[in-house]
A and B are shown apart, each in its own frame.
Chain A
Amino acid sequence: MSPGLRNRNVIKKKKDVLVLRAKILDLIRLFFKEREFIEVETPFILPYIIPEAYIDPIKTEVGYLHTSPELCMKMLLGLGCNNIFQICKCFRKGERSKIHLPEFTMLEWYHVGIDYNKLMEECELLIRNICYKLFNKEKINYQGNEVDLATPWNRISLTNAFEKYANISLYEAVDKGIFEEILVYKVEPKLGFKQPVFVKDYPASMAALAKLQDHNPNIAERFELYICGLEIANGYTELTDMAEMKKRWETENQKRTQMGKCVYPFPNGYKINIPDCSGVALGIDRLIMLFSDKDRIDSVVSMLSEDI
């Protein structure tokens, strides 16, 4: 069979999923528009990248492909756009697995005047609403697990998640340099099977651009949403202190240098007046995997550049 014909047959099989995907995208837009969020679009090709130790952008002749719309959306927040959301492709070099695509679809939104606790509630509402509007119920069946989406969902601190599911404490794992091994092989496979779960309160060293807690600066107000072992969303109360932000970018670049990786230019001279707000990035493809009961990310996108 010619590759073209094979692709056509694959697409035919995918039609139901693609219809569902389009519906979910509509429902996401409806949810935010009802709440008077502005849908925005920001450039994909950027001269700067928010440096992250473990995320590699794809470089083009004319700039970097963005790894998330975070930087530009924060610039818009600084310009006075309050509640904003965006659905866009993001690009990350070398990320490919059953649940990773180097080119994937992200939903990112920022809500001014709320903290990460309120933002978790907004995540709950969004996903529960989508489910209810699609299936007229609050339960999904994913790979043989019935997941109850009735709110509120569980919340567990990262420290407690390690205590509960791993035979090593979070701090010991970090000290020994095996944080990712324990998280990926021991903790994540247990998260969010009966009910979605928010893992929250990350050590300051994993704050990304989250605000540190006022009463405990060792803890960052960051959360990750897990459903059936899948990491679905990452959000936080946003850091608004520009000087601290630049320090963190420099730290990330230093970690890259130590690993022998290239460093990335960030907008050093730029001042962003970020209002008090919270923001979250949600992987649309993985969300669609959940609603369509597919175990591979390949099954929920119309096609892959590697197949064309």
Chain B
Amino acid sequence: MYTASDLRKGLKIVIDNEPYIIIDFQFSKPGKGQALYRCKLRNMITGVIVDKTYRSIDTFQPADLEERKMQFLYKQDDQYCFMDMETYEQVFLNEDQVGDAKNFLTDNLEVEVLFFEGKPIGINLPNFVDLKVIKSDPWVKGDSVSSNTKPVTLETGYIIRVPTFIEEGEKIRVDTRTGEYVTRIKE
């Protein structure tokens, strides 16, 4: 059990049976008055951000969270299957739970699956993934005002802007946090 004085940036607590992480924290206290603990919290399942103000008598349950390294196996309908490479245990996440990460998931990619009270709730990708360009229209200089980049389609179906020298069949490195092109991979 945490008390309000334990609250700080990065702490993970349970509110209404869901895990939240404190992303911003501010302590205020009038000299003789009660302390206020103002928190900005992100729901770790839905991503929704909420503001809450607590007082010193408030208490909190720590969120029972675990991260396990797992490999992405396959997608069937809207279910994404991941497997623990040591125990061979398989878990499924739906499209909402995978979120934008679906744009960067390729077979056998190693990711961290986040479990809350033993149930999988989401995944963390590596910061960088290498993906193949499967579709790139021929590019004519001066076609557009932003003529130094062009859109291409990656093997996951994700459309991304890349420098005009990238061609179909090449591999590129993408930053999964921003969804942006980083560099060309020479094989």
> B55 CB to closest chain A CB, in angstroms?
8
A55, A96, A181, A260: the one within 8 Å of B32 (CB) = A55
> A212 CB to closest chain B CB, in angstroms?
16
Instruction: List, in ascending order, chain B residues with CB within 8 A of A181's CB.
Output: 36, 53
Roughly how many angstroms separate A181 CA and B32 CA in the complex, as a whole number? Answer: 14
> B52 CB to closest chain A CB, in angstroms?
12
What per-residue 1/0 map shows which CB atoms of B24-42 lie under 8 Å from chain A? 0011111111111000000
Let me know if A184 and B31 touch, CB within 8 A.
no
Task: Pick from B32, B34, B56 the residue with the most CB of A within 10 Å.
Answer: B32
> A191 CB to closest chain B CB, in angstroms?
11
Let me know if B27 and A95 touch, CB within 8 A.
yes
Instruction: List, in ascending order, chain A residues with CB within 8 A of B35's CB.
Output: 54, 94-95
| A208 contacts the other chain (CB 8 A) | yes
Let me know if A52 and B32 touch, CB within 8 A.
yes
| B145 contacts the other chain (CB 8 A) | no
Closest-by-CB residue of A relative to B31 is: A234
Number of interface residues of B (CB under 8 A): 15
Let me know if B27 and A54 touch, CB within 8 A.
no
| A224 contacts the other chain (CB 8 A) | yes
What per-residue 1/0 map shows which CB atoms of A219-262 lie under 8 Å from chain B? 00000100000010010000000000000000000000001110
Instruction: List, in ascending order, chain A residues with CB within 8 A of B56's CB.
Output: 54, 94, 259, 261
| A180 contacts the other chain (CB 8 A) | yes
User: Given contacts A94-B5, A260-B57, are A54 and B33 in contact (CB under 8 A)?
Assistant: yes
What per-residue 1/0 map shows which CB atoms of B45-84 lie under 8 Å from chain A? 0000000010011000000000000000000000000000
Let me know if B36 and A179 touch, CB within 8 A.
no
Roughly how many angstroms separate A96 CA and B37 CA in the complex, as a whole number? Answer: 11
B5, B26, B27, B32: the one within 8 Å of A234 (CB) = B32
Let me know if B33 and A180 touch, CB within 8 A.
yes
Instruction: List, in ascending order, chain A residues with CB within 8 A of B28's CB.
Output: 97, 180, 184-185
What per-residue 1/0 map shows which CB atoms of B8-37 lie under 8 Å from chain A? 000000000000000000111111111110
Roughly how many angstroms separate A208 CA and B32 CA in the complex, as a whole number? Answer: 8
Let me know if B32 and A259 touch, CB within 8 A.
no
Let me know if B5 and A183 touch, CB within 8 A.
no
Let me know if A180 and B31 touch, CB within 8 A.
no
Roughly how many angstroms separate A177 CA and B29 CA in the complex, as a whole number? Answer: 15
Let me know if A231 and B30 touch, CB within 8 A.
yes
Let me know if A54 and B26 touch, CB within 8 A.
no
User: Given contacts A94-B5, A259-B56, A260-B57, are A180 and B27 in contact (CB under 8 A)?
Assistant: no
Roughly how many angstroms separate A181 CA and B35 CA in the complex, as a whole number? Answer: 9
Instruction: List, in ascending order, chain A residues with CB within 8 A of B29's CB.
Output: 54, 95, 97, 100, 184
Roughly how many angstroms separate A261 CA and B26 CA in the complex, as a whole number? Answer: 22
B5, B27, B31, B34: the one within 8 Å of A97 (CB) = B27
User: Given contacts A181-B53, A259-B57, are A206 and B32 in contact (CB under 8 A)?
Assistant: yes
User: Given contacts A100-B27, A231-B30, A231-B31, are A180 and B57 in contact (CB under 8 A)?
Assistant: no
Instruction: List, in ascending order, chain B residues with CB within 8 A of A188's CB.
Output: 30
A96, A184, A261: the one within 8 Å of B30 (CB) = A184
Contact surface of B with A, Cβ cutoff 8 Å = 5, 26-36, 53, 56-57
Q: Could you jot down 28 A-B contacts, CB within 8 Å?
A: A53-B34, A54-B35, A55-B32, A94-B5, A94-B35, A94-B56, A95-B27, A95-B29, A95-B35, A97-B26, A97-B27, A97-B28, A97-B29, A100-B27, A100-B29, A180-B34, A181-B53, A183-B30, A184-B29, A184-B33, A184-B36, A185-B28, A188-B30, A208-B32, A224-B31, A259-B57, A260-B57, A281-B31
